[in-house]
């Protein structure tokens, strides 16, 4: 490290500090300092670059390895792309959607993941920490959108009925009672058919996450470039709460 410029030495030390389990004002100060140290002296990408992203665009931040925005017709999504230790295949960790997650927030979210990877760890959630929101997003993006003509309807149903109620809950903690409550709410609202669709969609989503239902083959160049994370996404012994 002694041969590196002082700015780069400081940035690497701050990346290490960002990976420590500190909280509150100290964590905010470390992340703010890391953001400053990571900025390109020549300016780099700005909010305008991301705001003007068109469907099909992929924007890689040259100053923050692995920080990626992918734009579709309906969404602009932040990812951290990396190669896990011992693997030759890249994978991605979804950080959030723009503009709900701003450029600054995406960069702050990227920093500890990058620091973890530099330490030889696998960044992001482990299978038993995957949230319901993240599972729904993966299911729609890598399964429904590539296989089902009803993908948009599935997305809206999951967002309104599942993510709104269980979004931050760990997938491994979702119970039969949780799913039954969601289904019962649809029935109580007079949507019996929607209740059946909801249960079926959640059942399929868990089967995909457990590796029991295979992901669709990548038939287009865009799909091959946007490789789905290997399944299972959750521990194999996780019960399917929608059976």
Cβ within 8 Å of residue 134, ≥6 positions away: 94, 125
How far apart are alpha carbons 71 and 55 in whole angstroms? 5
Q: Which of 42, 92, 35 is nearest to 66 (CA)?
A: 92
CATH code of the domain made up of 127-225: 1.10.150
CATH code of the domain made up of 6-118: 3.30.160.390
Note whether 232 and 127 are within 8 A (CB).
yes
* 6 three-state secondary structure: helix
Matching CATH topology for 6-118 and 127-225? Answer: no
Q: Which residue ranges make up each domain of the chain?
A: 6-118, 127-225
Q: Which of 164, 142, 149, 162 is nearest to 227 (CA)?
A: 142
Q: Walk along the chain (243 residues) and give the pLDDT tens digit of each residue.
A: 445 567 777 877 887 787 777 778 888 888 778 777 766 544 578 899 999 999 989 899 988 988 999 998 888 999 888 876 666 667 778 888 899 999 999 999 999 889 888 877 767 656 667 889 889 988 998 899 999 999 999 999 999 999 999 988 889 999 999 999 999 999 999 999 999 999 999 999 999 999 999 999 877 877 777 777 777 888 889 999 998
pLDDT value at position 54?
Answer: 92
pLDDT value at position 40?
Answer: 52
What's the token pair of residue 46?
A: 């700005």
pLDDT value at position 1?
Answer: 47
Q: Which of 140, 138, 133, 165 is nearest to 154 (CA)?
A: 140
């Amino acid at each position: 490290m002694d041969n590196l410029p002082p700015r780069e030495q400081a940035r690497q030390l701050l990346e290490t500090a960002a990976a420590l389990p500190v909280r509150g004002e100290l964590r905010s100060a470390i992340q703010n300092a890391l953001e400053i140290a990571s900025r390109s002296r020549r300016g780099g990408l700005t909010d305008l670059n991301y705001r003007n992203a068109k469907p099909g665009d992929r924007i890689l931040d040259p100053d923050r390895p692995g920080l990626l925005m992918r734009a579709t017709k309906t969404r602009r999504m932040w990812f951290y792309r990396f190669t896990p230790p011992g693997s030759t295949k890249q994978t991605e960790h979804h950080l959030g959607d723009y503009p709900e997650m701003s450029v600054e927030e995406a960069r702050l979210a990227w920093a500890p993941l990058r620091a973890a990877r530099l330490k030889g760890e696998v960044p992001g959630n482990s299978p038993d920490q995957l949230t319901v929101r993240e599972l729904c997003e993966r299911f729609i993006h890598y399964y429904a959108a590539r296989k089902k003509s009803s993908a948009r309807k599935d997305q809206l149903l999951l967002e309104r009925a599942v993510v709104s109620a269980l979004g931050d809950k760990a997938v491994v903690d979702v119970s039969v009672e949780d799913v039954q409550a969601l289904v019962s709410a649809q029935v109580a609202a007079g949507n019996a058919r929607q209740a059946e669709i909801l249960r079926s969609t959640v059942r399929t989503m868990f089967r995909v996450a457990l590796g029991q239902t295979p992901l669709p083959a990548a038939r287009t160049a865009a799909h091959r470039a946007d490789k789905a994370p290997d399944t299972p996404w959750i521990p194999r012994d996780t019960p399917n709460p929608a059976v």
